Amino acid sequence: MKDSVAAHYTHGQLLDRILSGVQAIGKTPDTVTVDELAPVDEFHIGGRQASEDFISQLELSADDHTLDIGCGIGGTSRFVASRFGCRVTGIDLTPEFVATGQSLCEWVGLSGQIELHQGDATAMPFADESFDAAFMLHVGMNIPDKSGLFAEAYRLLKPGALFGVYDVMQTSDEALTYPVPWSSVPGTSALATQGQYTEALEQAGFDIVRTRDRREFAAAFFEETRQRMEKAGGAPPLGVHIAMGESAPVKISNMVENIAAGRVAPVEIIATK
């Protein structure tokens, strides 16, 4: 499944497409900012606002070394490093995402604060208790072994550290309409319920601090996005549609439908070691 997941996300010309988008807003790799990259960087429901709402619960400070599990092109890593001043290490399965992310970190001058690695989130190449906090945004839907994933996160975190999960979770037994942003077919989707997430986290040793269903937030976000695109007459130069490729419109449309039908919802879980 891992090869299929990496293949699903591989674009082939991702950095070139982002560069074209940057040039279309009148910027260059030397002048573009983290905030200007946000529309393409924040590859999860709610974009930058979701990151703000979610990451603010992790109580980060400049002294922290934070782990971004399933970092994609490193958008949330860049947000965290620039906003909180901390060091961030990210890991992702897809080689093109990691290579693209490293280039984008160089563009915005954050290479000294951020390290991105290609690898498997269920077997990470880091030392025990080496991170002050960890987070993952829209990652678990591609990882069947939630127990292994959360056991790894637990191993890597220092005692008392916070761990945030913001994933799309299953909320009914009804089959999804595919393709969706994380999977083109059911075979590469590993959805689980909030209860299954909680059970796997507790089994790994975490205590649940709080949970929050973000269904209404997601519905409002998609509606605002639709209205903005209608007004602009199409997709913006920079946006998550770049990473999703040609099938972006149908993936997003199916995502909206699946949430509206009550099949899935984005959910936050904050846990502590």
Q: Give the bridge partners for 89, in sequence order.
A: 67, 115
Contact 145, 245 (CB under 8 A): no
* Residue 10 reports pLDDT greater than 80: no
pLDDT digits (tens, 9 = 90+) for 160-191: 999 999 999 999 999 999 999 999 999 889 99
Q: What is the pLDDT of residue 199?
A: 98
- Its pTM stands at 0.95
Q: What is the pLDDT of residue 65?
A: 98
- Residue 143: pLDDT band with limits 50, 70, 90: very high
Averaged pLDDT score across all residues of the chain = 94
Distance CA 141, CA 265 (A): 12
* Residue 210 reports pLDDT greater than 80: yes
Which of 89, 230, 69 is CA-nearest to residue 151? Answer: 69
Domain boundaries, the chain: 2-272
Q: What is the pLDDT of residue 260?
A: 94
Q: Which stretch of DSSP H or E encloses residue 61? A: none
Q: What is the pLDDT of residue 69?
A: 98
pLDDT digits (tens, 9 = 90+) for 23-34: 999 999 999 999
Contact 267, 164 (CB under 8 A): no
* Reported CATH class of domain 2-272: alpha beta
Side chain identity at residue 126, one-letter code: F
Distance CA 150, CA 108 (A): 31
Q: What is the pLDDT of residue 248?
A: 83
Contact 2, 93 (CB under 8 A): yes
Most confident of 128-132, 226-230, 253-257: 128-132
Distance CA 188, CA 2 (A): 8
pLDDT digits (tens, 9 = 90+) for 187-207: 889 999 999 999 999 999 999
